[in-house]
Chain A
Amino acid sequence: MSELETVQKPSNPAVWNNPKYRALFFQALLIAGLVYFFYSVVDNTLSNMESRGISTGFGFLTEKAGFGILQSLVQFNEDSSYGRTFIVGLVNTGLVAVLGIFMATLLGFGMGVARLSNNWLVAKLATVYIEIFRNIPLLLQIFFWYFAVLAGLPSARNSMSLGLGIEFNVRGLYLPGPVAEPGFLITVVAFIIGFIALLFMRQWARKRQDETGQQFPVGWSSLILLIGFPLVVFWASGMPMSIEYPVLKGFNFAGGIAVVPELLALVLALTIYTGAFIAETVRAGILAVDHGQTEASLALGLKRGQLMKLVIIPQAMRVIIPPLTSQYLNLTKNSSLATAIGYPDLVNVFMGTTLNQTGQAIEITAMTMAVYLTASLLISSVMNWYNKKMAIVER
């Protein structure tokens, strides 16, 4: 017995051969290396900045900026501060990202499904679209739309009228804009109420179907609650809204909603480029659903539409969502290419003009990067949550 114990007792390895101590040693080495690296970078930076006479700190954010910005959704004029330029850039970047994501998703899903269509011609057209636009650099596409297409449009005086008061010329796209009059708030409230009611209705309908098997026309009722109800309220409150049409004044149009060509080119290029990638993602997702699922649902007597909606898409979405997330992130990051054509996004306004005027490279770069990092983490966490919700619940 005692003999066995002595045999089983492991020999004591030397300290430098003990994996535990080794790991500690290497990690300590790593930390020391990193500390040295960052120390020397910070030290160099500080002394470099001192010799160039650049002060550090965020005090510059409250100083007067003194330059104008092409397009701004928040109020901005030449008296606004540098801090305000950050907000303007942020909002403009957000605008491009949201518009781009929305349109690229529509285009991408459409093209992805089209590429798998039974119709040979439609499938080939979608393939041609995907293969062309996926393989051309985005920056080149932005330049193409901006300099080759939009810059070739007629001048404001010879503007193309696309009907319904829409004007399209070299200065951009001019849409009739709604102008809210007092009392419009009631309609907004009605819309919100309709939305909340819709959430409750869906939950109730699902519960009822689970319990009794009876289906409730969720789609139609949603439409009524979300659009019909606010419309009725809008009408009942006396239609407190007017529409303002763009009118030619001097050399340019005024009134309505003006979309500058920079924004147009950027959103167009982002949509077409990212749409091609999303289409591939969607195609891969749909192909990942076993063909037996299609056959089984056809055997159950589902119609083609029901087959897609109830069987294929819910399963395909699980495969599609993770790569779709990274496409959304790519689009958001790619929106920074705006700077190449002078659309006032975060990089152009804040990292460009503001940086050039103040020279606060470190602070401005850090703030800009922080925005993109936060957006990345935010989008990916929302998508992870959605992904978890859609994931297979296994026994």
Chain B
Amino acid sequence: MPVNHKKSPSLPPPASEVGIVVWVKKNLFSTYANGVMSLAAIVLILLLLPPLLDWAFFSATWSGSNRADCNEDGACWIFIANRIDQVFYGFYPAELHWRPNLAGLLLIGLTIPLFIKSFHYKNWLGAFILIIYPFIAYFLIHGGSFGLEVVSTTKWGGLMLTLILSAVGIVASLPLGILLALGRRSKMPMFKSVCVVYIEFWRGIPLITVLFMASVMLPLFFPEGSDFDKLLRALIGITLFQSAYMAEVVRGGLQAIPKGQYEASEALGLNYPKSMGLIILPQALKLVIPGIVNTFIALFKDTTLVLIIGLFDLLAIINLALTDSEWLGFDDEGYVFAAFVFWVFCFAMSRYSIALEAKLHTGHKR
């Protein structure tokens, strides 16, 4: 009798294990306590979701030009639509909007190759974006040369200002943060203590006091007559503040590099700058990219505080719109819209950070 080595097809799971009803039973009503919680959750969802959806979408007004077009029961999105230019660009002259647009498109265009696997000059492109691009963007947005009209920073605002503040904050604070992190791990006691004091000082005080200080006290610190732009003051404050957080993130990466790497680079005869720049930092920074993205998210949210010193970021523009006497009483729409914009950015970045973490973790997972 020949033995049949052929594998017989696997049987379908028993009927008592598949189907929606079974899934519901298992995941929602497995025990009495579970059932009660599920019911409570369902009640909560039914109480919140339908009115919310109705307000935001079904009963909302999407087109029209003035207050009279608004539907009483729902959100009136034309309030936002009427001011969409301000929301994006602040008080930037409308006929010059192409300049920030071009700067933004340029950045997007330059960044795309960084995500293409087969692109080989990522380092050069990255350096270009970090070092040369900011100047291009500055000349485009601020103007003043190449025949471009000057648009003073007091006119910058809206989402554009929010993005500029966070981008400059992160790019400027990264090198400072790396230096501070290296200093904190230095064997020279003076360097170490100076860096520790610096980091703990900035981490210990709220950003709002930093911004206050930047706007009230910074002019006192410099010789008389030196005048600072308000935006520049805010940027200095944000960069100093953020560099302390960045330093701690980078320090985490430095600590994660095994001691053998330090010893090996010394054994090869590399001096300190070379061993850090060629061996340690490339590995450490790669490890902390998700941490840097998280810092960026925090900074992005924190930029809203500049409204307290009188800059018109996205939130401040919304606040301003809410005080318009023709459009009083649209607080819900204004804040929900601003929240949505911030949420989209932050959520996308946090997903990206999680994806990066998963991608970068492979080599280090035990």
- B347 within 8 Å of A by Cβ? yes
Q: Mark B193-237, 1 if CB is under 8 A from A, else 0.
A: 010000011011111110011001101111110000000000000
Chain A residues contacting B346 (CB-CB under 8 Å) are 134-136
Q: Which of A144-152, A164-172, A198-206, A259-267 contacts B (4 or more CB under 8 A)?
A: A144-152
- A63 within 8 Å of B by Cβ? no
The answer to whether residues A144 and B339 also contact, given A48-B220, A48-B224, A365-B212 and a CB cut-off of 8 A, is yes
| Smallest CB gap from B190: residue in A | A27
**Chain B 20-72 residues near chain A, CB threshold 8 A:** 27-28, 30, 34, 37-38, 41-42, 44-45
Interface of B is mostly: helix
B343 touches A132 (CB 8 A): yes
Chain B residues contacting A117 (CB-CB under 8 Å) are 37
A138 touches B301 (CB 8 A): yes
- A369 within 8 Å of B by Cβ? yes
A361 touches B208 (CB 8 A): no
Q: Mark B159-195, 1 if CB is under 8 A from A, else 0.
A: 0000000000000000000000000000111110010
Which of B42, B221, B223, B339 is in CB contact (< 8 Å) with A121? B42
The total of chain A residues at the interface (CB under 8 A) is 55
The answer to whether residues A136 and B342 also contact, given A49-B220, A333-B206, A372-B205 and a CB cut-off of 8 A, is yes
Kindly state the separation between the CA atoms of A120 and B224 in the bound complex, as whole angstroms.
64
A44 touches B319 (CB 8 A): no
The answer to whether residues A135 and B343 also contact, given A27-B188, A45-B220 and a CB cut-off of 8 A, is yes
Q: Mark A124-140, 1 if CB is under 8 A from B, else 0.
A: 01000001101111111
- B355 within 8 Å of A by Cβ? no
A140 touches B342 (CB 8 A): yes
The total of chain B residues at the interface (CB under 8 A) is 56
Kindly state the separation between the CA atoms of A187 and B191 in the bound complex, as whole angstroms.
56
- B73 within 8 Å of A by Cβ? no
- B148 within 8 Å of A by Cβ? no
The answer to whether residues A34 and B304 also contact, given A119-B34, A121-B41, A136-B346 and a CB cut-off of 8 A, is no
B305 touches A376 (CB 8 A): no
B206 touches A334 (CB 8 A): yes
A118 touches B27 (CB 8 A): yes
Interface of A is mostly: helix
- B335 within 8 Å of A by Cβ? yes
Which of B200, B220, B315, B332 is in CB contact (< 8 Å) with A44? B220
- B283 within 8 Å of A by Cβ? no
What residues of chain A have their CB less than 8 Å away from a CB belonging to chain B? 23, 26-27, 30-31, 34, 41, 44-45, 47-49, 51, 117-122, 125, 131-132, 134-141, 143-144, 147-148, 151-152, 329, 333-334, 336-337, 339-340, 347, 351, 355, 361-362, 365, 368-369, 372-373, 376-377
What residues of chain B have their CB less than 8 Å away from a CB belonging to chain A? 27-28, 30, 34, 37-38, 41-42, 44-45, 187-191, 194, 200-201, 203-209, 212-213, 216-217, 219-224, 297, 301-302, 304-305, 307-308, 315, 319, 322, 331-332, 335-336, 338-339, 342-343, 346-347, 350
**Closest 5 A-B residue pairs measured CB to CB?**
A135-B346, A376-B204, A333-B206, A27-B190, A120-B27
